Amino acid sequence: MVRALLILVLFSVFARLFWRFIDGVVRGASMPPPGGRRNSAPSPVKMQPCPVCGTYVVPGRAISAVSSGVAVHFCSEKCRGEYAPR
């Protein structure tokens, strides 16, 4: 009688462990690993031509002005001074 009770308790413990294991496997398979690899390739910088002389400049480092709602980027102060929007 005691042995049957022990077997029952052991069985329930094993069943619980088994289901916990299955749950962990399912979660591990469905969730992405923490801090996993990310495809964070830097986006290529789109260069813009200077509207005066045609030199390609990086917008972040160029002299910028907004002309009729469009941002234009100049290679130098000289080009910005010469720029006449049409």
Cα(57)–Cα(75) distance, rounded to whole angstroms?
6
Q: Using the rule CB under 5 A, is 50 a contact of Zn ion?
A: yes
Cα(43)–Cα(53) distance, rounded to whole angstroms?
26
Structure tokens at 64: 């910028």
Shortest reach from residue 86's CB to Zn ion, in Å: 16
Q: Using the rule CB under 5 A, is 53 a contact of Zn ion?
A: yes
Nearest partner of 52 among 15, 78, 20, 13, judged by Cα? 78
7/53 with CB nearer Zn ion = 53
> Sign of torsion, CA 21 25 26 27?
positive
Q: Using the rule CB under 5 A, is 25 a contact of Zn ion?
A: no
Shortest reach from residue 58's CB to Zn ion, in Å: 13
Shortest reach from residue 55's CB to Zn ion, in Å: 5
Residues that bind Zn ion (CB under 5 A): 50, 52-53, 55, 75, 79
